[in-house]
Amino acid sequence: MITTLSLPDFIHASKDALVIDVRTPAEFEQGHIIGATNLPLFTNDERVLVGTCYKQQGRQPAILLGFELIGGRWANYIRDVESLLAITQNERKKVFVHCWRGGMRSGAMAWALTMYGFDVYVLKGGYKTYRRYCVDTFETRYPIIILSGKTGCAKTATLLEMKKLGEQVIDLEGLAHHQGSSFGSKGNDYQPSQEQFENTLAHELRQLDTTKRIWFENESIVIGRREVPRGIFEQMRKAQIIDMQLPIEERVDFLNDDYGVLDKEFLKESVLKITKRLGPNETKLSLQAIDENRMKDFIRQVLVYYDKTYQRSQEKRDKTTIHSLSLNTLDPQENAKILVAHCTQLFGIDVAQFLPAIQTELSQQSTTNLSYDYTK
């Protein structure tokens, strides 16, 4: 049996179930539903052939070409689904399928799987509908608090400890697979596509309770090669800030442990990327310190630049939103407890006490409300 579901029903019903994306590997890599598995009906090249045929000859010739290309692969698709269901331990053989628009590709796969005996549910409007749903997420207002501090304060590690304490946290650097600075890739060039970065961020936001504070780390709009969605970034720039202040030697020790062990060629390349901002003399001294394995000297040298950049950024913010907190040692677990207590003392528990303008909107909308018809 084939059942067509709206996006809200599809998301609700497919939780912990097998979701199959039948688009090409290239489409899937560009962006996909969180938790979906790619089982492409066509290869990247085959989709181009079918699309060209559709434009030049029409619908029916394109359908015939599609079936010719698929040939005897139907049995393999069914075997693959059987294997995937065994992994998910789904005894009822429910399969959720989608393509780009909820058209021929998902329809063809649903037909084959239904013939075999699966219960198949197809997403009305396809991935295109899901993508609109993700983009809409960034227009919702959120009770955001920013954790800030100069480079080397272990902000990300502290946020993750705060999450263990029950705080709501969005780790943008984790979602972007990058730590933000010129050195932020740590030699690993992989980042998700911009579209998938946004999809994952939207998914994370949709899980949160908008009547409670949500922590973000202070970021520029660009994280590596990825950009924070404008709707979210504008809210971050206006949010309340807890500014961690730690002794420089604590920061140097932390950065030495984190970056001092990385490949020297990567570090030197990263220094050269910011030559114009460091200046020729500072660049020379930094490179020399790396070559001579004086890693703490190298870190102190580049911190001069990053601290100045941080200070300029802070000066552009509304000073009434910045709340400094001096900490003696860099201990993410202990500092997380202090930050939570400090924030509660400053603002209380109810987000309305520090974001009254936003709270009015939040009382009228919910990020977990899926009643909107995203097939429009």
Pairwise CA distance, residues 114 & 93, whole Å: 10
125: tokens are 């409007």
Dump the DSSP string for 110-152. Answer: HHHHHHHT-EEEEETTHHHHHHHHHHHHTTS---EEEEEESTT
Neighbouring C-beta atoms of residue 79, cutoff 10 Å: 11
Domain boundary among 83, 103, 135: 135
Is residue 73 located within the same domain as residue 159? no
* Count of alpha carbons within 13 angstroms of residue 221, beta-carbon side: 8
- Taking only the tens place, the pLDDT of each residue in 298-319 is 999 999 889 998 999 899 899 9
310-333 CB burial, b ≥16 within 10 A, e <16? beeeeeebeeeeeeebebeebbbe
Is residue 45 located within the same domain as residue 166? no
264 found inside a domain: yes
Domain boundary among 108, 135, 162: 135
Backbone φ and ψ of 94, nearest 5°: -85, 135
Number of domains in the chain: 2
Q: What is the CATH number of the domain that holds 49?
A: 3.40.250.10
Question: Does position 331 have pLDDT exceeding 90, yes or no?
Answer: yes
Q: What is the CA radius of gyration of the chain?
A: 25
Question: Phi-psi region for residue 150, left (φ > 0), alpha (ψ -120 to 50) or beta?
Answer: beta
Is residue 73 located within the same domain as residue 195? no
375 found inside a domain: no
Reduced to 3 states, what is the DSSP secondary structure of residue 310?
helix
Pairwise CA distance, residues 49 & 44, whole Å: 9
Parallel/antiparallel/unpaired status of strands 240-245 and 222-223: unpaired
Reported confidence tier of residue 185, pLDDT bands at 50, 70, 90? low
198 found inside a domain: yes
Is residue 335 located within the same domain as residue 243? yes
Residue of higher predicted confidence among 355 and 339? 339
pLDDT score of 365: 42
Q: Rounded to 5 degrees, what angle do the CA atoms 180, 186, 191 make?
A: 65
Pairwise CA distance, residues 100 & 28, whole Å: 10
Q: pTM to 2 decimals?
A: 0.88
Is residue 71 located within the same domain as residue 160? no
Is residue 333 located within the same domain as residue 215? yes
371 found inside a domain: no
Which of 99, 134, 153, 343 is catalytic? The answer is 99
205 found inside a domain: yes
Is residue 32 located within the same domain as residue 90? yes
Structural domain that includes position 58: 2-135
Reported confidence tier of residue 90, pLDDT bands at 50, 70, 90? low
- Taking only the tens place, the pLDDT of each residue in 37-67 is 999 999 999 999 999 999 999 999 999 999 9
Domain boundary among 120, 135, 150: 135
Question: Does position 376 have pLDDT exceeding 50, yes or no?
Answer: no
Pairwise CA distance, residues 66 & 104, whole Å: 10
Is residue 237 located within the same domain as residue 123? no
Residue 168 bridge partners (DSSP): 214
**What is the average per-residue pLDDT within 257-274?**
89
**What is the average per-residue pLDDT within 268-287?**
90
Which residue carries 């070409």 as its tokens?
A: 65
113 found inside a domain: yes
- Taking only the tens place, the pLDDT of each residue in 203-214 is 999 999 999 999
The chain-wide mean pLDDT, for the chain, equals: 89
Is residue 77 located within the same domain as residue 155? no
Give the closest residue to 151 by CA, choosing from 295, 293, 305.
305
Is residue 228 located within the same domain as residue 273? yes
pLDDT score of 144: 95
Is residue 171 located within the same domain as residue 224? yes
**What is the average per-residue pLDDT within 182-196?**
79
Reduced to 3 states, what is the DSSP secondary structure of residue 193?
coil
Question: Does position 358 have pLDDT exceeding 70, yes or no?
Answer: no
pLDDT score of 187: 61
Catalytic residue at 99? Answer: yes
Give the closest residue to 180 by CA, choosing from 233, 230, 217.
217
pLDDT score of 348: 78
Give the closest residue to 85 by CA, choosing from 128, 50, 126, 118.
118
Is residue 346 located within the same domain as residue 215? yes
Q: What is the CATH number of the domain that holds 182?
A: 3.40.50.300
